Structure 1
Amino acid sequence: MVALAQAPPSAERLRALDGFLEAAWAEQAHHDERLRGLGVEVRFDRGVAHLSGEVPGPEQLRLVRELVGRLAGVYGVWGRVRVAGRDPVVVDLGCGGQKQYPTNLGLDIFPAPGVDAVADLSGSLPLADHSVDVIFTVHILEHLIDFLPLVDECHRVLRPGGVLHVMSPWWGHVNAVADPTHVRLLDVQTIKGVCGQRPPGTPRWFPLHAGCDGASIFADLTPLPADAPQVSPAHLARFFD
């Protein structure tokens, strides 16, 4: 039997979803004492939470990310938040002419407005070890025959507690095959493979969030140190089959 494709939500439903999420988060922030006094603003756009503002330390940012990510209907938690007075270093890979946030550092293989450095994303990134707080790979992995080297490079350059944001067309939607430059098909289960059992010495990831809206897959990943235990099956079951 052929499985029926999951229909992406309509624009009207997404607007309603954002309204629900805004109300749910306002109620959460009002009643949760841990959130009081934190200067973080949360905006929802088509089910993706966008965080901005400032927190005193990384533990407060982790708390906000976790609580926002628990809301039903959130596909991803993106953000650009100052921590202890420091602006985050945010890198946009394969950004083309449009970055996710204007002040991101844009890297792409072709020069374009908004590209700050030309780099071959299939090779080594021109970034120092543990120098970046957030990396966006929005509609880029599907263009690479083997994207694992790029994912491993992201692991190298992210600071402890940093976040890799992934967004790619879902294999069951026409957008995945309509672009002839797409050479890979992705699913949420692909992200499970990235986070699951990997050979010794291979960079490993902890999934903060993963989901699919019927058109795109989303994942927020943070690097695990080499000596960290395997991600528990109970946590993986939150996102993956």
Structure 2
Amino acid sequence: MVATALTAPSAERLRAVDEFLAEAWADQAAHDARLRDLAVRVRFDRGVAHLTGEVADAAQLRLVRELIGRLAGVFGVWGRVRVAGREPVVVDLGCGGTKQYPQNLGLDIYPAPGVDAVADLSGSLPLADDSVDVLFAVHILEHLIDFLPLVDECHRVLRPGGVLHVMSPWWGHVNAVADPTHVRLLDVQTFKGICLQRPPGTPRWHPLHVGCDGASIFADLTPLGADDPAPEPPHLARFFS
């Protein structure tokens, strides 16, 4: 359940939480037979779990993501993991000169070192349908007056089982309003609206994980097909009021 008043944790507390999460995950991996032989490395950074390595199939990756996401103190589960020997197609939207992983494809409206393709994120993405495994939209949505067309484009280009990772300033923190180029305010409940409250016929999403650390909003979303079942209420209750 999301609190209505949050205070951003200090850097010292975040480091301590990362240490706790690393120990908790190592203990779980050692005692859960499903995890012992997986070649997945997990690093925690300010409450975000970063996954690298390889799994035999997509089901193993889903299992790791789900179990890590259940740990208290995890705000997001990001990653670049090979599945059955195949390198994932990972795209950073609006990356500027900084990608989440160096091997990612970077898209930005302005050319810069690290930008692999120039693209206006308010229009169509220069990516084929069902061609991407992971999309990062880090500090992007708050810059778009209407970000739903971009969210819909993300749904179009993601493969089934793909993930959209979002990070944006939380509306209640000064960072949300200190930058004059921010034109939208976001909350955890914003992603409830994206996943559950859009008109029939629009792209549907399943929230894998949604959280707020008092300064930023994190959301990991996977696309749903037209015939896929809606998320179950117990799952939604983890994130939304």
Which amino acid in the other structure matches residue 210 of structure 1? V
SS in 2 for 1:107: strand
Q: Following the alignment from structure 1 to structure 2, what is the Cα–Cα distance between the partners of residues 207 and 4?
A: 20
In structure 2, C-alpha distance between the alignment counterparts of 1:197 and 1:170, rounded to whole Å? 20
For residues 59 and 41 of structure 1, the distance between their equivalents in structure 2, rounded to whole angstroms, comes to 17
Is residue 101 of structure 2 the alignment partner of residue 112 of structure 1?
Answer: no
Letter in 2 for 1:136: F
Q: Compared with structure 1, are the counterparts of its residues 171 and 108 closer, same or farther at alpha carbon in structure 2 (3 Å cutoff)? A: same
> C-alpha displacement at 1:7, in angstroms?
1.3
CA drift at 1:197: 3.1
TM-score, normalised relative to structure 2: 0.97
Shift of 1:232: 2.3
Paired residue type of 1:86: R
**C-alpha distance after superposition, 1:190-229 (max 9, x if no partner):** 0110010322221000000000000000000000001122
Question: What is the match of residue 153 of structure 1?
Answer: 153
- Residue 5 of structure 1 and its aligned partner are, at CA, apart by 4.7
Partner of 2:173: 173
Is 1:97 aligned to residue 97 of structure 2? Answer: yes
Amino acid of the structure 1 residue aligned with 2:135? I
Q: Distance in 2 between matches of 1:202 and 1:85?
A: 34
| Identity, % of aligned positions | 83
**2:150 partner letter:** L
Q: Does the 8 Å contact 1:197/1:230 carry over to 2?
A: no
Paired letter, 2:142: E
Task: Using structure 1 for the length normalisation, give the TM-score.
Answer: 0.97
Equivalents in 1 of 2:226, 2:103: separation in Å? 32
Summarize the Cα distance change of 1:84–1:4 in structure 2 as closer, same or farther, 3 Å threshold: closer
Distance in 2 between residues matched to 1:142 and 1:199, nearest whole Å: 22
Name the amino acid aligned to 1:66.
E
Distance 1:229 1:214 in 2: 32
Q: Is the 8 A contact 1:134 1:162 kept in 2?
A: yes
Partner residue in 1 for 2:53: 53
What residue is the counterpart of 2:190 in the other structure? 190
Quote how far apart the aligned CAs of 1:4 are: 8.0
Q: CA deviation at 1:182?
A: 0.2
Compute the RMSD of aligned alpha carbons.
1.1
CA distance in structure 2 between the partners assigned to 1:111 and 1:229 by the alignment: 41
Opposite residue 107 of structure 1, the aligned amino acid is L
Q: Which amino acid aligns with 2:49?
A: A
Gaps of 5+ in 2: none
Instruction: Quote the Cα distance in structure 2 between the aligned partners of 1:107 and 1:5.
Output: 35
Contact conserved, 1:5 with 1:173, CA < 8 A, in 2?
A: no
